[in-house]
């Protein structure tokens, strides 16, 4: 499959979200797409899935059996089993085939108990499991996972990892976005990040969580707070912590050591120094 010079914008006056994206996806590939919030990852996923048509360029040789799992299932007014049976039929399965695949899928994701529940009444995680079971009904050759792990419990996440590896090992194409830097890190065959609408080849370091470096005057003692601490040559202290926890640390720091002077707070990519 090939995304050939793909560009996309949401309206004629809107800026191009994607600009000349070129992406080759061969059989047996597992490709990670990263990038900052708003960089266009979901837009790219929808184009690969055929939900959006590119404004420029083209998508060539998309496999016929394609499945797209976004982070959230629409709240449709059906019972789980009726919904899955219907979608199985739309994908060309006989009722017996659809029944046996949906039963196996729900068992695999430990969601058999929800067969008769209405989709709108499910928890987010269970609804996500139904979305995954639906995607797998047609035994896809192309599987697109856009933050599809987010609401799943740990067992569901492991199972979805296994699904991705199985599709890859069966010669299929898997493309995924996930905020967890470790997600399928060992299994991915390629990784790219979107920057300014362009896709660029990436390494594992590009997916690392940003680290906050907080430099303090002096050395608060003792240090019961989270974060790695090291003394600076001029008597100051440097604390490094995952950026997502830095606000909380700063609050705690200023409550516990009100006289501490915070010199600087910087964000760096990856593990800091
Ligand atoms: N339906 C829409 N209509 C108009 N603009 C949109 C629409 N969906 C996305 N955009 C814009 O397109 C850009 C890319 O959005 P997209 O959701 O693809 O990014 P993303 O990288 O997936 O973001 P996130 O990491 O937050 O999920 C953003 O500027 C967003 O505001």
Q: Is the CB of 42 under 6 A from ligand 1?
A: yes
Whole-angstrom distance, CA of residue 22 vs CA of residue 7:
10
Residue 154's alpha-carbon distances to 151, 159, 180, 181, 253, in angstroms, are 10, 9, 13, 16, 32
Say if residue 160 is in the same domain as residue 60: yes
Counting the structural domains of the chain, the total is 2
Tell me, what's the pLDDT at 183? 92
Q: Is the CB of 37 under 6 A from ligand 1?
A: yes
Query: Which residue, 207, 223, 257, sits at the end of a domain?
Result: 207
H/E stretch holding 15 reads none
Say if residue 151 is in the same domain as residue 35: yes
Say if residue 195 is in the same domain as residue 227: no
List, in sequence order, the alpha helices (H) in 91-220: 95-108, 124-137, 154-169
Q: Determine, yes or no, domain membership for 102.
A: no
Q: Determine, yes or no, domain membership for 252.
A: yes
* Whether the Cβ atoms of residue 98 and residue 84 lie closer than 8 Å to each other: yes
The preferred substitution site among 16, 17, 72, 175 for testing ligand 1, maximizing ligand atoms within 8 Å of CB, is 17
Say if residue 202 is in the same domain as residue 230: no
Q: Is the CB of 70 under 6 A from ligand 1?
A: no
Q: Is the CB of 41 under 6 A from ligand 1?
A: yes
Span 253-264, average pLDDT: 89
Centre of ligand 1 to C-alpha 183, Å, is 22
Task: Give the model's confidence band at 1: pLDDT under 50 very low, under 70 low, under 90 confident, else very high.
Answer: very high
Q: Is the CB of 10 under 6 A from ligand 1?
A: yes
Centre of ligand 1 to C-alpha 140, Å, is 26
Tell me, what's the pLDDT at 188? 93
Task: Give the model's confidence band at 164: pLDDT under 50 very low, under 70 low, under 90 confident, else very high.
Answer: very high
Q: Determine, yes or no, domain membership for 196.
A: yes
Distance, C-alpha 267 to centroid of its chain = 22
Nearest CA, atom 25, ligand 1: 37
Say if residue 30 is in the same domain as residue 45: yes
* Whether the Cβ atoms of residue 59 and residue 50 lie closer than 8 Å to each other: yes
Span 41-68, average pLDDT: 96
Which atom, in ligand 1's list, is nearest to the CA of 194?
21
Cα angle for residues 185, 198, 35 (degrees, 5° grid): 40
119, two tokens: 């989709």
Whether the predicted pLDDT of 209 surpasses 50: yes
Centre of ligand 1 to C-alpha 41, Å, is 8
Tell me, what's the pLDDT at 272? 46
Task: Give the model's confidence band at 224: pLDDT under 50 very low, under 70 low, under 90 confident, else very high.
Answer: confident
Whole-angstrom distance, CA of residue 82 vs CA of residue 97:
14
Query: What CATH number is associated with residue 58?
Result: 3.40.50.300
Tell me, what's the pLDDT at 270? 56
Query: Which residue, 188, 207, 226, sits at the end of a domain?
Result: 207
Cis ω for the linkage preceding 222 (within 30 of 0) = yes
Which residues, in sequence order, are CB contacts of 49 under 8 Å at separation 6+?
66, 68, 142, 144
% of the chain at pLDDT higher than 70 = 96
Q: Determine, yes or no, domain membership for 82.
A: no
Q: Determine, yes or no, domain membership for 187.
A: yes
68, two tokens: 């797209």
Whether the predicted pLDDT of 7 surpasses 60: yes
Say if residue 151 is in the same domain as residue 40: yes
- pLDDT tens, 169-190? 999 999 999 988 889 988 999 9
Domain that holds residue 60: 2-65+140-207
Q: Which of 207, 193, 208, 204 is nearest to 270 (CA)?
A: 208
pTM over 0.80: no
Say if residue 35 is in the same domain as residue 60: yes
Instruction: Return mean pLDDT, the chain.
Output: 91
Q: Is the CB of 35 under 6 A from ligand 1?
A: yes
Centre of ligand 1 to C-alpha 17, Å, is 8
Collapsed DSSP state (helix, strand, coil) of residue 18: strand
Say if residue 233 is in the same domain as residue 192: no
Higher pLDDT, 106 or 273: 106
Q: Can you tell me the ipTM of this complex?
A: 0.97
Q: Determine, yes or no, domain membership for 88.
A: no
Whether the predicted pLDDT of 128 surpasses 50: yes
Say if residue 56 is in the same domain as residue 169: yes
């Amino acid at each position: 499959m090939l995304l050939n010079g793909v560009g996309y914008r949401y309206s004629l006056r809107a800026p191009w979200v994607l600009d000349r994206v070129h992406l080759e996806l061969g059989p047996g590939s597992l490709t990670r797409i990263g990038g900052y919030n708003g960089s266009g990852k979901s837009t790219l996923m929808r184009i690969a899935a055929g939900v959006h048509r590119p404004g420029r360029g083209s998508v060539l040789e998309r496999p016929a059996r394609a499945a797209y799992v976004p982070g959230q299932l629409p709240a449709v007014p059906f019972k789980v089993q009726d919904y899955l049976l219907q979608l199985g039929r739309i994908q060309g399965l006989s009722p017996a085939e659809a029944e046996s695949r949906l039963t196996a899928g729900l068992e695999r994701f430990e969601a058999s108990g929800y067969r008769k529940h209405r989709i709108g009444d499910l928890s987010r995680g269970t609804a996500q499991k139904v979305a995954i079971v639906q995607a797998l009904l047609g035994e896809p050759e192309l599987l697109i996972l856009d933050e599809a792990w987010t609401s799943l419990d740990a067992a569901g996440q492991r199972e979805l990892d296994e699904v991705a590896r199985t599709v890859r090992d069966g010669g299929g194409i898997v493309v995924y976005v996930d905020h967890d830097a470790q997600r399928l890190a060992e299994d991915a065959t390629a990784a790219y990040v979107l920057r300014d609408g362009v896709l660029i080849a990436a390494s594992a370091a590009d997916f690392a969580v940003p680290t906050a470096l907080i430099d303090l005057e002096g050395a608060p003692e003792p240090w019961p707070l989270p974060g790695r601490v090291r003394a600076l040559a001029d008597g100051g202290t440097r604390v490094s912590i995952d950026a997502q926890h830095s606000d909380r640390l700063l609050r705690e720091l200023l409550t516990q050591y009100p006289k501490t002077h915070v010199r600087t707070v910087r964000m760096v990519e990856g593990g800091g120094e």
